[in-house]
Amino acid sequence: MPSPPTIGVTHAEVGTRTNLIAHNLRNSALLRLDAGIFILHFVLMVSFQVVPTTLEATLGVARELHWQVYLPAVLLSVAGIIPLMRLAERGDRPRLAFLASIALLFVALAVLGVAQRAWIFYAGLWLFFVGFNYMEATLPSMVSKAVVASGKGTAMGIFSTAQFLGIFAGGVMGGVVLEQFGVFGITAMCLALVGLWFLLALPQAFGSVRPADEALAP
């Protein structure tokens, strides 16, 4: 088979450009988004060190039946995501929807931390998945919009690293805090982090997101 001719076209946006790493780490908009995905997955890992125990010990749901709680909560979260999507797209208020989803996470964590009745706990779990799933879809899109095309691969690489660091840190810290301070400590830590995230997101909600310098594009 003949070798195809080289046409000289490269796709710099799909790979990491080492010369842009330091630049992205100085971009405040990207750093806030990286912090957001870190906190989102940190809170996920920490919360689910407590949720299964609460379902089993407090609400009497056997471990092998937990899927009957999680599956409806995840599926029904779509009904909660739709209003946020309409607010972001049809209402042309994506930043307000972004803040609203962080606020939903805060409320959900507070409810999960204090709920003693099954229906209240399930409502909190549903709110959690509404906020989490909306942010999980929205944050990568916001990162791609905050950089020029040639820098997307680098920005997404740093973003993904922050995500997995959040998973690792959440697993470690969740176990330590749960052992030392119990459910109250877990709830307080998660609420503090999500509250901090809300404050970090305010400049993006009421300011402009400045893309990386066009001069860096090849």
Whether the per-residue pLDDT at 161 is higher than 60: the answer is yes
The domain covering 26-207 belongs, at the CATH homologous superfamily level, to MFS general substrate transporter like domains (1.20.1250.20)
Q: Which of 80, 63, 180, 59 is nearest to 122 (CA)?
A: 59
DSSP string, 60-123: ---GGGTHHHHHHHHHHHHHHHHHHHHHHHTS--HHHHHHHHHHHHHHHHHHHHH--SHHHHHH
Per-residue confidence band for 159, with pLDDT thresholds at 50, 70 and 90: very high
Q: How many helices (DSSP H) and strands (DSSP E) are in the chain?
A: 7, 0
What is the spatial distance between Cα 41 and Cα 214, in angstroms, rounded to a whole number? 31
Pick the more confident residue, 118 or 21.
118
Residues in the chain: 218
Q: Buried (b) or exposed (e) across 168-186, using 16+ Cβ within 10 A? A: ebbeebbeebbeeeebebb
pLDDT of 53-79, one tens digit each?
899 988 899 999 999 999 999 999 999
* Global pTM value: 0.84
Whether the per-residue pLDDT at 194 is higher than 50: the answer is yes
What is the dihedral angle through the alpha carbons of 203, 109, 138, 196, rounded to the nearest 10 degrees? 20
The residues near 146 (Cβ < 8 Å, ≥ 6 apart) are: 27, 29, 30, 33, 155, 209, 210, 211, 212
Q: Per-domain residue ranges for the chain? A: 26-207
Tokens of 84: 């946020």
Pick the more confident residue, 28 or 111.
111
Whether the per-residue pLDDT at 92 is higher than 80: the answer is no
Q: Which of 104, 65, 67 is nearest to 83 (CA)?
A: 104
Per-residue confidence band for 28, with pLDDT thresholds at 50, 70 and 90: confident
